Structure 1
Amino acid sequence: MYRLDELTARFGGELCGDGATRIGRVAPLDVAGNGDIAFLANPKYVSQLSNCQASAVILGPAVRDLTDLPRIVTSDPYLYFARVAALLNPPARSVPGSHPSATVLGTVAPSACVGPGVFVGEGSRIGEDVIVGAGASIGPGCHVGAGTIIHPRAVVYHDCIIGERCIIHSGAVIGADGFGFARQKDGVWVKIPQTGRVVIGSDVEVGANTTIDRGALDDTVIENGVKLDNQIQIAHNVRIGEHTAIAGCVGIAGSTHIGRRCMIGGQAGIIGHLEICDDVVVSAGTLVSKSIRKPGVYTASLPVQGHAEWVRNFAHLRHLDALSERVRSLEQLAKTNDKAKP
């Protein structure tokens, strides 16, 4: 457990109330109890503050006086909560060494932990303090940087590079063939060998069942600090800039380049060979069909509505061409009449 004054000494913030208050875990406002620290980052939950039973709370300056609980006041309560949560929930310590059932043909640092049933291919290098979970597979010629965690049954194909302090979740597939085919005149598809790699920087997180295809000729590149949610498809030769975050079920087609510090909402689709500049936000469900060269928020989706209303609105959309033609005809008629006036 930690005292509140220990937290402010470590992370900053203004302490209000008893600094000797001890907390052992983080919890939501509505269920927190003795020994818990809660946080208020979203104004929609401010009503829960009055009945909160937590030992302490993290909140912003605008609501600092809405409770008498011991509290830490900070300009960014959500970020502060993240740091406290990480402090209170350190990763489990692993035992260095390779499990007897693992097949290790490459080199493994003495401090690394290789779990049951793991395969490490010839020529691969596993760095210091790496953890490779049960049943994971790392193909020949790969390099996994220090402090990276590869969870059970993730797969890294041959010659891929993963930087330091990355997290690769279960079911992720790094370096499968990109979708590259040439078509004959008779319709038969001819496979194009995918000879590039996947190169992942440091401090990258790859969600469960996310797939990152290897490049066709050049590499697919995920730069430092990128955060990828679950079930994302990243095609061959895509490049994603530093500290970009992409939510679940996004599909990115081949050879698209995404800039730094972008945020891509869930179920967005990005077609191939596009350029998206730095600091772009793409709303959930948006189809990006052309390059984006100016920072900002971009949306191309309809809000939810009742079925009957949607049918009515769609019926109007079906008649837009006819309505446009009618307007043009009326404008032309008006011009003709103006000319005919004495």
Structure 2
Amino acid sequence: MSVYTLQTLAEHLGAQLHGDGAVEVSAVATLEDAQSGQITFLSNAKYRKFLQQTKASAVLIKAEELEFCPVAALIVKDPYVAFAKVAQLLDTTPAAADGIHPTAIVDSSAQIDPTAQLGPYVVVSKDVVIGAGVQIGAGSFIGEGASIAADCKIWPKVSIYHRVRLGQRCIVHSGAVLGADGFGFANERGQWLKIPQVGTVIVGDDCEIGANTTIDRGAIGDTLIGNNVILDNQVQIAHNVQIGDHSCIAGCTVVAGSTKIGKYCVIGGACAITGHIEICDAVQITGMSMITKAITEKGIYSSGMPATTNLEWRKNNARYRQLEQIYQRLRDVEQELAQSRNVTGE
């Protein structure tokens, strides 16, 4: 268990300390549940009532909240970002593997750094390269010619196909599949003919790939995931997709083939994005949206309809079905008004 004084944390964060710098903390917690020896944060003023009652040893807050804080405080510009940095220091997540387990199967041609860790029943195929500090959890498969750069953490039962490349410090969660074939078929008189997917997947540095997320290999070129891209659980990335640096995609979203997503994009959960389009930098797409054409200007885009009562939904659905009739009637009324103005000389 790691223990830090408030003075050390203040120096690490560049924060202004109010209170005893010798106070020690060893864990993070919520404002409502924090106890002595723990540090918490306040980033939303609506939770201020919990601040005044907190039993935490210290709180990460903005300067304007200091007067409401009954315990030691670290004054920061963004409490949530500061909380993330402190949580990293106090992280108690175990390693994905410890040492080289005797049941691991490693091809003699594989290049494995001496500091890498391989869990039980890991399979490392021909010509694989595994960098320093890599951890690969139990039952994971690393395909021929794949490379995993330094300090990646691969959780159990991950499948990394042939020639897939991961950058440094990536995290891949259980059940993820990187480099499976894309959905490439030609149809000859009703018969589906498979098109071999000969590209691969290239993932940049500092990426995180959620549980049961799939990233298909390129059909001819490569599927490209930029630096510091985060993909939630159960996300589907099709072949030849490109995702720019620092973008993120929430759970259950699907991105069809050959689409290009820019840098700093934020895409909500359960979205569907069609193939062969481009989305420019700094676009936000709210959950359950369907994107069917290119987005060329940064901003927020939405199409998903929020739930309402069943009665209201049925009424609106009935009206929607009459939309064409309503449109025709409105056009007829506009034409009649225009003719009337012509007759009266208005």
The alignment's TM-score, normalised by the length of structure 1, stands at 0.96
How many residue pairs get aligned? The number is 341
Match of 1:304 in 2: 307
Match of 1:219 in 2: 222
Match of 1:209 in 2: 212
Contact 2:96 2:137 survives alignment (8 Å): no
Tell me whether 1:100 sits opposite 2:87 in the alignment.
Answer: no
Contact 1:148 1:167 survives alignment (8 Å): yes
Match of 2:63 in 1: 61
Write out aligned runs for 1:1-342 (5 A).
1-89=3-91, 92=94, 97-105=99-107, 106-185=110-189, 187-341=190-344
SS at match of 1:65: helix
- Which amino acid in structure 1 is aligned with residue 139 of structure 2? G
Contact 1:96 1:111 survives alignment (8 Å): no
- Which amino acid in structure 2 is aligned with residue 77 of structure 1? P
Q: 1:303: how far off?
A: 2.2
Contact 1:97 1:110 survives alignment (8 Å): no
- Which amino acid in structure 1 is aligned with residue 298 of structure 2? P
Q: 1:336: how far off?
A: 2.2
State the Cα deviation string for residues 129-166 of structure 1 (Å, max 9, x = none).
Answer: 11111110001011110111111110001111111111
Contact 2:142 2:159 survives alignment (8 Å): yes
| Cα distance in 2 between the residues matched to 1:6 and 1:289 | 50
**Aligned sequence identity (%):** 45
Q: 1:96: how far off?
A: 6.6
| Cα distance in 2 between the residues matched to 1:116 and 1:96 | 10
Q: 1:48: how far off?
A: 1.3
| Cα distance in 2 between the residues matched to 1:94 and 1:295 | 39
State the Cα deviation string for residues 176-211 of structure 1 (Å, max 9, x = none).
Answer: 0000111122x1111111000001111111111000
- Which amino acid in structure 1 is aligned with residue 89 of structure 2? L
Q: 1:79: how far off?
A: 0.3
The runs of 5 or more residues in structure 1 that have no matched partner are none
SS at match of 2:162: coil
| Cα distance in 1 between the residues matched to 2:45 and 2:272 | 31
Q: 1:94: how far off?
A: 7.7
SS at match of 1:64: helix
| Cα distance in 2 between the residues matched to 1:177 and 1:267 | 22
- Which amino acid in structure 2 is aligned with residue 28 of structure 1? T
| Cα distance in 1 between the residues matched to 2:121 and 2:150 | 21
| Cα distance in 2 between the residues matched to 1:132 and 1:55 | 36
| Cα distance in 1 between the residues matched to 2:263 and 2:148 | 23
| Cα distance in 1 between the residues matched to 2:46 and 2:192 | 54
The runs of 5 or more residues in structure 2 that have no matched partner are none
* CA RMSD, 1 decimal: 1.4
Q: 1:8: how far off?
A: 0.5
| Cα distance in 1 between the residues matched to 2:96 and 2:334 | 76
- Which amino acid in structure 2 is aligned with residue 98 of structure 1? I
State the Cα deviation string for residues 241-294 of structure 1 (Å, max 9, x = none).
Answer: 001111111100000000111111111111101101111111111111111111
SS at match of 2:67: coil
Q: 1:324: how far off?
A: 1.1
Contact 1:126 1:145 survives alignment (8 Å): yes
